[in-house]
Amino acid sequence: MTRAFTFPGQGSQAVGMGKELAEAFAPAREVFEEVNDALGQNLTKLMWEGPEDELTLTENAQPALMAVSVAAMKTLEAEGGFALADKASFVAGHSLGEYSALAAAGAFTIADTARLLKLRGQAMQRAVPVGEGAMAAMLGLDFDVAKEVAEEAAQGEVCQAANDNAPGQVVISGAKAAVERAAEIAKTKGAKRAMLLPVSAPFHCALMQPAADEMKAALAEVAMQAPAVPLVANVTASRVADAETIRNLLVEQVTGMVRWRESVLYMVEQGVTQLVEVGVGKVLTGMAKRIAKEAETAAVGTPADVETFLKTL
């Protein structure tokens, strides 16, 4: 079996996330403590007790989701007695999950990843005043049609495909009025649903350029190693192993489209037969089943998941 570990993005967060892992496994506790120390913030208290609206803030949700993903991965390695590179051909992550993937693969330290994601969340929030941007999910439209809808709706404003998640599931992002126009146009093009998403900023579009500039400066200051296994990058949907190339792609990723559907297809074309989602929830597992029905899937985010998955190795 050829395996890839994948790491979820924003939207999967929930109060209580990671608590069972921390209670059951010392390696998970160590990851959470390292993240708290790096941020000078009791992030785990927020993760486990809420309030939910504070956890959902981008600057908290991003490092929190990474912490659970890396805690789960470190637990798998410790309990299973293996290193990630022994069991995977690739890592990949959805948007902020790309940072989780890189931390899990040793490209960044956990502390540096936590600080980068805190800044990334703050920079994305700063880039566009609240209420001026929006994102909408186009359900039931193929990517090419959704892209045409975004282009037609733009009318001189920013409106572009942000996430190509799975067949019939494309998210667009941009100026609020343009995204609202796109949602209406989508219905005339055969979309089953076109709905605005409850997000605080228009991620993965040109309006995020100020955040990309901030991340470029921050990433330039951070030490980086080649990952233990190649990353399948969001913006290229292909493998990359060189640290400096990855650094540049992480900057592009802020304004660029998350090519998740193509990334999964690429991994399967390269011989991957099992996609293992590591962290909170099963969003990527659901997408994988729609993109590549022939691939096996697994999700590891709780102590029970850890035990179940290790029995399959």
Give the residue extent of every domain in the chain: 3-127+207-312, 133-199
> Do the domains 3-127+207-312 and 133-199 sit in the same CATH topology, yes or no?
no
Q: What is the pLDDT of residue 14?
A: 94
Q: What is the pLDDT of residue 198?
A: 83
Q: What is the pLDDT of residue 200?
A: 82
DSSP structure string for the chain: --EEEEE--TT---TTTTHHHHHH-HHHHHHHHHHHHHHTS-HHHHHHH--HHHHHSHHHHHHHHHHHHHHHHHHHHHHHT--HHHH-SEEEESTTHHHHHHHHTTSS-HHHHHHHHHHHHHHHHHHS-TTSEEEEEEET--HHHHHHHHHHHHTTS-EEEEEEEETTEEEEEEEHHHHHHHHHHHHHTT-SEEEE---SS--SSGGGHHHHHHHHHHHHTS-----SS-EE-TTTSSEE--HHHHHHHHHHHHHS-B-HHHHHHHHHHTT--EEEEESSSSHHHHHHHHH-TTSEEEEE-SHHHHHHHHHH-
Identity of the residue numbered 300: V
Q: What is the pLDDT of residue 246?
A: 98
- Is residue 51's pLDDT more than 90? yes
How high does pLDDT run on average in the chain?
97
In angstroms, the CA 179 to CA 299 distance is 33
| CATH domain 3-127+207-312 topology | Malonyl-Coenzyme A Acyl Carrier Protein; domain 2 (3.40.366)
Model pTM?
A: 0.97
Q: Which residue numbers are catalytic? A: 95, 204
How many CA atoms does the CB half-sphere of 173 hold within 13 Å? 22
- Is residue 1's pLDDT more than 90? no
- Is residue 185's pLDDT more than 90? yes
Summarised one tens digit per residue, pLDDT across range 228-256 is 999 999 999 999 999 999 999 999 999 99
- Is residue 305's pLDDT more than 90? yes
Alpha-carbon distance values, 153 to 78, 181, 205, 260 (Å): 50, 6, 14, 23
| CATH domain 133-199 topology | Alpha-Beta Plaits (3.30.70)
* Interval 87-107 mean pLDDT: 98
